[in-house]
Structure 1
């Protein structure tokens, strides 16, 4: 499908770090309090995300401007975020309120659709007060003119320093009851750029592609120093060529919903889109509060367990992003250092940064070789029938077998049935259980299937296990089951870091898992921009020979500005044996 519809570009290094979000930061000061607290508490993160309404009222919907007076100092806010080595992503939509500049310009050129879209009311109250309709309308992204108008106004935020775009409602949200789906209008084919006459009905499924590609292509024309990054809600074939990362939408915070995220992500991969993620913790979580929006869910063991397991799953998604409404998601609301839940959340985020050299190297394979991040087991073990319909486990890159704990082990599992309408209902039944305490110290087991055709290592203990069997994996709240295929070579960043930076990778642990021959290529570049396309990048290939028990670090290929000419690699086996390689770019071999 990638050969037919487009290859995946390299994304900026920072986008693979941890992203913190909330619906929503209501003032610039609230957002800055979060980023400053994270840096003060040494919680690693790379991205802070500003959700909607920074523009003001619904009549100014998606003005793509900080018109809300609580963000009047937005330039200082952006500078502050950049000053602590973080990045800002911001919510933008495919629709505009009637008081926006975009609405008026698009309307004058007949580039707005006439169907109703969300938000229905111009007032922010819930349920919507339809005595005051919002008048918000979706724009026509199939028009080249419309896409250029969209970018012209979005470029204000780009020039102000906003780093990435959260393109919400690229479905789009719609109410077609009073609209004509068969009205014919001029449409630009996003793939060819050619114009033709067609109806909304004939192209509606490709709406997300047209929206995302319009922003991606126009940003590249305007700025060659930064790789575009787009988070969006919907996907259509070919969208992977923009590098857009698709998330699964406003889902409920429940174990049932969590379980469904694994096959959802794998199905995206199987349809050529390797960049996918979910709201860590689920979006609608108010049912875990004692009362409406009191934030007590952060102390509720039923939600704490769900949030921890979802965070542990997020480590192995192409984008690791915590987001949701009704309950604060920042880690420091879940305890303090030394407390079980806080430590489990923090350890998951730290692990993300430890395996960052592995993730970024895999991103190069995704771009260069049409590889994938999250891989359904059948993709790598097609001869093992037990993998054909396994929707609970997956490979992350070539080495990790991830088995997220998708059922409650320490708390009662209670249903939180929610959709996009009932999710906002303040009268939902509470799942808060007064006085319930979980014994987080208890040891639990969780069934994991290890595919045949390979030998496996427990990542946490180093224990070697034969494939082709179901095992009962020992688990705690601190971590979910994780296994590594024999023959794997995994680079680990051992330095305590606060954000993704290749400069911190001068010294790496190189974990080698014997039992089969194996290889791994460590890829590095400047982390952003397009110099990598002109050869400014490096590749270091590691090869393990099982028979001779030797690891060879091959001659480095390529270079880039800021590259470490000399490196320290500590080669580590599962039993703890290790040897040091002082690497200067020339071939080197050690025997273990």
Structure 2
């Protein structure tokens, strides 16, 4: 074996970066941070970012594009590495990672420092298809990898609503839409991650789009005639239409006629109707067929006489997708039937499919990007999944510490229509002594015809500053909804338009929105740097003088028009300042967040920025931005889907996520039930279910990174959900108070998120990667290192199954009783209680009852030690509202428990900040298998004084 070896040290490159080395007929260009190799498949470049991160780029052009990344920040760091040639491969090696480029195929393989193969590109798995849009040349690209571990778990990709978990062998299309947030980053249980640096429409898994049924199956109508299915439409007035349907594709509005859905009959009233599609499908091959079902109204799907989709519901204006798989045999005809009850004037339905894919091919990792200059991704390696997410934040930016009040409870609704409603609502929480920190003023606080004016309608909000001041006087905060949308009649629209910074497609096509008679407007181009500055300037002029605390950046997909196809969506935001919308389709929310973060930090540098956005993208966390899961439905299956959606989003590297507790879009039956109750005072069956749904959702929401209720009528304030003596009211209030009791623990997690790149909402696979059974658990999770949370998401359930990972022990939070790990247990879940367990070896820090995060309890902090193994926890504290922590003004107190000696040690305090308690008391409680203590955070234990010096306590 002949090895040609080069040494490239940071700051001491031996040869010129322009020198080419010829070895085994390969051309190698060494440069200060890596190499470029010319292969038969084109140029491949490896760049060393740090010891655990390598950037891989590939092109068939003569050189690489030099465009600046929107998501990756320059590190300015130099890392030592070596370059060597072994046989036909060229290696780049750091102290912890090696990457090899095969000279012939150009495929890249990654190894750890011991030579263990981690991930490998597939030979021939790289593809470039030229694509030109509006005079801009680029490529549609595909990159596939070999599956080295069919049993690995793969998580991330953002937040999607099909209730899927573990993307190994699955497919996901990455685009932004209401309820769907796409982040091109995955983390594997193999302790590596891939950040795919693309801003266009992308796909994970199958690089092609779903096929229409007739492209994969032979269709037969209900009478056995070949070629179509039968569609029967029965209107509420008795009118019936029977049609032959060559495809079930009614998924978007018709361009140029936005009053109708593509392919559906135009002369039919869908509201209150019943529609059935039926017939038979004959597979052209044997295997597992992956379906995607698009639905609004109530829909149920049967294949081969089996119910494959239980009845699901979505509001007419905001349909959803659901995925399922069915095994079928070639040439064996099976019946198919879709039962549909639309409940709106516009209705959507779709059923498309992927043909079977060989299992080994299906489990490969494949990325596809619609329009990119080149293949460009970052391989991130670590000792565990937290390390990998830390690498992602090394690339895309640290997560700042959110203001402390953001960890408290937020109340919102669609919408507070008057100043009186805002103040009376907040005051009612204070009167009832229910903790709250933030109230949200949603859309249409402006005059009806003035969207984008950033001005309150003074008839309904006569004194906006006085309103905000009044909330502040009650130790509260005010968040306001700001859209990147402007009516053409506003001065703000005209200011953008004069500079060429408005997307003009919606104006060109005379698209009017849903407000009043319908108004003409569009969105500004957030890809233009000066436009971003103007957007903030307008907010700074109108909202900042009022004392607004935080920003709700709605519709930042951008959602210029609901329910249109992706091609039209791109046309409506075309061109961007950077180029065609095809190329920059997915990054709008990131650019918009940058506008606000940079703007506020310049205008008010001592106050922490807080943004909430309905969309997101890789890098969003660096702008102190959280994401919520959009306008989800008020259904049990939607609540369940939020668990996996939130967990995947968290593993995508963006730590702060929330949802509309109770769901946003409300089923008619719940609306009717609330109206009946308002008239009669009686709780019918639907209202009973509505209250239980909200109760279970609030229980879950108390253990999300951010705790927030929102939605359409019926109102979501606890006192509007149920009366004080109702179990729903009691449970919601109890968990709101518990959230505040846990504030020292939760805020310490926020500190860990910034300083240690921690993830607050954690899939079981993160902390128990050694136990492969955790890889497919999507309905329970860790909230920080101590708490196992198991939401109840089925109506009437009073128990649920919980898996306790092997080699662990768990205490029931409510009783203190211990459960051994390595088994699944059917645990109690009474109406008012979410199953909650504490891991042995945990140290849980809690405070007394407070009404806001700004309030400081006079009670000692309770430190609960859950025995059974060693443990540690760091209590983090700072001023909570400013950026002094960036200057080192904070404190950390490390607490360590030694099981062998039953000793708790408080380290000497690290750091200080203005207003810090220099002397304090801790109430120390120990829970052990032999001494169970229920609700231990409220128990009385040993009182210990602490003055910042190291202290030991025997328990």
Q: Which TM-score bucket, shorter chain as reference?
A: 0.7 to 0.9
Q: Secondary structure at the match of 1:7?
A: coil
- CA separation of 1:180/1:335 partners in 2, compared to 1, >3 Å: closer, same or farther? closer
Q: What displacement does 1:69 show?
A: 1.8
Moved more, 150-159 or 12-21: 150-159
Partner of 1:5: 396
Q: Secondary structure at the match of 1:220?
A: helix
Aligned pair count?
A: 541
- Which whole-Å CA distance do the structure 1 matches of 2:702 and 2:605 have between them? 30
Q: Secondary structure at the match of 1:582?
A: strand
Higher radius of gyration, 1 or 2:
2
Q: Secondary structure at the match of 2:452?
A: coil
Asked if structure 1 preserves the Cα contact closer than 8 Å seen for 2:505 and 2:574, the reply is no
Asked if structure 2 preserves the Cα contact closer than 8 Å seen for 1:89 and 1:164, the reply is yes
Q: What displacement does 1:148 show?
A: 1.1
CA deviation string 1:166-191 (max 9, x = no partner): 0000001134649747955533xxxx
CA deviation string 1:160-212 (max 9, x = no partner): 1000000000001134649747955533xxxxxxxxxx112211200010011
Asked if structure 2 preserves the Cα contact closer than 8 Å seen for 1:288 and 1:302, the reply is no
Asked if structure 1 preserves the Cα contact closer than 8 Å seen for 2:475 and 2:854, the reply is no
Q: Which has the higher contact order (CA 8 A, sep 6+)?
A: 1
Greater per-residue strand proportion = 2
Asked if structure 1 preserves the Cα contact closer than 8 Å seen for 2:570 and 2:582, the reply is no
Greater per-residue helix proportion = 1
Q: What displacement does 1:222 show?
A: 0.8
Partner of 2:830: 476
1:234 maps onto 2:615 in alignment: yes
Of 221, 235, 243, the residue aligned with 2:624 is 243
- CA separation of 1:572/1:387 partners in 2, compared to 1, >3 Å: closer, same or farther? same
1:218 maps onto 2:571 in alignment: no
Q: Secondary structure at the match of 2:857?
A: helix
- CA separation of 1:182/1:133 partners in 2, compared to 1, >3 Å: closer, same or farther? closer
**Match runs of 1:44-443 below 5 Å:** 44-57=435-448, 59-116=449-506, 121=512, 124-125=515-516, 133-155=518-540, 156-175=542-561, 177=568, 180=571, 184=575, 186-187=577-578, 198-289=579-670, 291=672, 294=675, 296=677, 299=683, 300-409=687-796
- Which whole-Å CA distance do the structure 2 matches of 1:252 and 1:119 have between them? 30
Asked if structure 2 preserves the Cα contact closer than 8 Å seen for 1:19 and 1:46, the reply is yes
- CA separation of 1:505/1:292 partners in 2, compared to 1, >3 Å: closer, same or farther? same
> What is the alpha-carbon root mean square deviation over aligned residues?
2.1
- CA separation of 1:524/1:204 partners in 2, compared to 1, >3 Å: closer, same or farther? same
Partner of 1:25: 416
Asked if structure 1 preserves the Cα contact closer than 8 Å seen for 2:696 and 2:792, the reply is yes
Asked if structure 2 preserves the Cα contact closer than 8 Å seen for 1:60 and 1:98, the reply is no
Partner of 2:898: 545
- Which whole-Å CA distance do the structure 1 matches of 2:607 and 2:887 have between them? 15
Q: Secondary structure at the match of 1:382?
A: coil
Q: What displacement does 1:501 show?
A: 2.8
CA deviation string 1:286-321 (max 9, x = no partner): 434353973849951111111011101111111100
1:467 maps onto 2:825 in alignment: no
Partner of 1:191: none
- CA separation of 1:558/1:43 partners in 2, compared to 1, >3 Å: closer, same or farther? same
Partner of 2:871: 518
- Which whole-Å CA distance do the structure 1 matches of 2:407 and 2:569 have between them? 43
Partner of 2:845: 491
CA deviation string 1:97-130 (max 9, x = no partner): 11222101001111000233999546634xxxxx
TM-score by length of 2: 0.55
TM-score by length of 1: 0.88
- Which whole-Å CA distance do the structure 1 matches of 2:497 and 2:638 have between them? 40
- Which whole-Å CA distance do the structure 2 matches of 1:182 and 1:167 have between them? 18
- CA separation of 1:275/1:182 partners in 2, compared to 1, >3 Å: closer, same or farther? closer
Partner of 1:453: 807
CA deviation string 1:189-243 (max 9, x = no partner): xxxxxxxxx1122112000100111111111011112110001111110111112
- CA separation of 1:591/1:539 partners in 2, compared to 1, >3 Å: closer, same or farther? same
Q: What displacement does 1:568 show?
A: 1.2
- Which whole-Å CA distance do the structure 1 matches of 2:673 and 2:602 have between them? 47
Could you tell me which runs of 5 or more consecutive residues in structure 2 were left unpaired when the two chains were aligned: 1-391, 562-566, 934-939
Asked if structure 2 preserves the Cα contact closer than 8 Å seen for 1:286 and 1:326, the reply is no
Asked if structure 1 preserves the Cα contact closer than 8 Å seen for 2:480 and 2:551, the reply is yes
- Which whole-Å CA distance do the structure 1 matches of 2:621 and 2:444 have between them? 28
